[in-house]
Structure 1
Amino acid sequence: MKKLNRLPIFLREVILVAKNKYTKFSDSIIKKGVEKVVRDTNDDHNFNIEIKKRIKKSITIKEKIIEDNIDVISKVVKKIIEAYQQGKKTIWFGNGGSAADAQHLACELVSRFHMAKRPAIPSLALTTNTSILTAVSNDFNFDNVFERQVEAFAEEGDVLIGITTSGTSANVIKALKFGKKKGTINVAFTGENISKIEDVVDYLVDVPSRDTPRIQEAHIMIGHIICDLVEKTLFGEK
């Protein structure tokens, strides 16, 4: 401070003003930093609440599946095992996330679920050949993309599994309907309150929910259970 007093008055004023502004600026930065930490902490807390809500909702739906869908899932497992024992195959199809589920579950059977040393199980996903998908969509209609492949690949006694959360996907319904003509065993994975698809399936696995993400979570769980039980029944515990 003594050194500051030796400076000319105008220079001392400049330095004092600058120092005052810097102090206010520093205080402002610190205040904003504290506010951000508090805000981020609150956001984390809110996210935790939202995450718990979604997990609990998923658990509730799965508990309802135990009450409402166990019998039909068990019947589907038995039918698929019988089909494989008779030299038949499974064919999976769906749109969007359900297309991914179809590929995922066909993969579990062809590659393996748990058992490394077992024969491949014949299973197809009708969602993988982009040339077929685009050709049929272009030359015919997108509603025919699975129907056309069922005509080409499905045989009497094969198990068709159509996956549609809404239960109203026209291309899934058309494929199942065509499969019926060929003598396939038809299964549908859907959400609740389905009517359009019931007439073309032998087994309806209708997850008790209308929330698409929760339905999809349940579909992959049910698919995993089916693959697991089919593998263990055909090849034993290893």
Structure 2
Amino acid sequence: MSEIAGDWMSRQLKEHIAVAEAGEELMPALHRIGAMLCSAFAAGHILYTFGNGGSAADAQHFTGEIIGHYSRDRRPLGAVTLSTDPTTLTCIANDYSYDEVFARQVRGLARPGDVVAGFTTSGMSPNIVLALEAARAAGATTVLFGGGDGGAAREHADHCLLSPSTSTPRIQEFHTFMLHVLSEIVDSWADGTPEDVIAP
């Protein structure tokens, strides 16, 4: 391995560690959002997630952990990722616009009490911003997984989980950590052992 490559990888790792350390300030917010998700699932509500590109993968990851399970054997919970249906996505994009691909689904599906989570590294993607706005109008609780200052999407988020970085890789890496923490909180609640994770 060349010295240049070694230096570059070391720098990437140091940046990752710095974001993880700075992210400790988000622990109270993760606790609150985890408790909110548990209350929503207890009442029979649904989690809807969405994002573009790598953020779409993060949204699907979160849904998989919720409707499947994270680390414990427990009942499935209601979760849907809005980027996984190519027929619906291309229909809306073709007949309306790409900016509407998530907002139109949210208007058709989300109900008061549901939770709608958008993943965006920039916070500026119009389809994410419009979908969070539509979710609020529908009476759903909105969660933003973002980075930096949250961009325009922050205006429509009831809860913000902003990775302490403006670098796309670092933002997405911490998104994975946060969705894993939330998944464990939900798992511990659903299998009847919240005391393992959620402080009384």
Would you call these one fold, judging by a TM-score over 0.5?
Answer: yes
Q: Summarize the alignment of residues 4-23 of structure 1 with structure 2, pairs less than 5 Å apart.
A: none
Picking from 109, 113, 117, the partner of 2:66 is 109
Where 2:102 maps in the other structure, the secondary structure is helix
The alignment status of 1:63 with 2:26, answered yes or no, reads: no
Query: What's the offset of the Cα at 1:56?
Result: 1.4
Structure 1 residue 105 displacement after superposition: 1.0
Pairing partner for 1:186 from 142, 149, 169: 142
Rg larger in structure: 1
> How far is 1:121 from its partner?
1.2
RCO comparison, higher one (Cα < 8 Å, 6+): 2
Q: How does 1:1-238 map to 2 (within 5 A)?
A: 41=1, 43=2, 45-67=3-25, 69-115=26-72, 117-237=73-193
1:38 corresponds in structure 2 to: none
Distance 1:56 1:128 in 2: 34
Q: Quick one: which amino acid aligns to residue 56 of structure 1?
A: K
Q: Tell me how far 1:51 sits from its aligned partner.
A: 1.6
| Structure having the larger proportion of residues in helix | 1
C-alpha distance in structure 2 between counterparts of 1:100 and 1:198, whole Å: 21
- Tell whether the 8 Å contact from 2:75 to 2:190 is kept in structure 1 after alignment: no
Q: TM-score, structure 2 length as denominator?
A: 0.92
Gap runs ≥5 in structure 1: 1-40
2 CA distance for matches of 1:103 and 1:219?
12
SS where residue 196 of structure 1 aligns? Answer: helix
- Cα distance in 1, alignment partners of residues 12 and 91 from structure 2: 40
Amino acid in structure 2 at the alignment position of 1:121:
L
CA distance in 1, matches of 2:78, 2:98: 26
Q: Output the aligned Cα RMSD.
A: 1.4
Task: Encode CA deviations 1:190-236: one digit per residue, 9 max, x unaligned.
Answer: 11123412221111111111100110001111011101111112213
Q: What displacement does 1:64 show?
A: 0.5
SS in 2 for 1:197: helix
The one-letter amino acid of 1:80's match is L
* SS at structure 2 position matched to 1:124: strand
State the AA in 2 paired with 1:122.
Answer: G
Structure 2 CA distance for aligned equivalents of residues 133 and 225 of structure 1: 30
Equivalenced residue count is: 194
Is the Cα contact below 8 Å between 2:117 and 2:145 reproduced in 1? yes
Name the TM-score, length of structure 1 as normaliser. Answer: 0.78
Is the contact between residue 74 and residue 190 of structure 2 (CA under 8 Å) also seen in structure 1?
Answer: no
Q: Any unmatched runs of 5+ in structure 2?
A: none
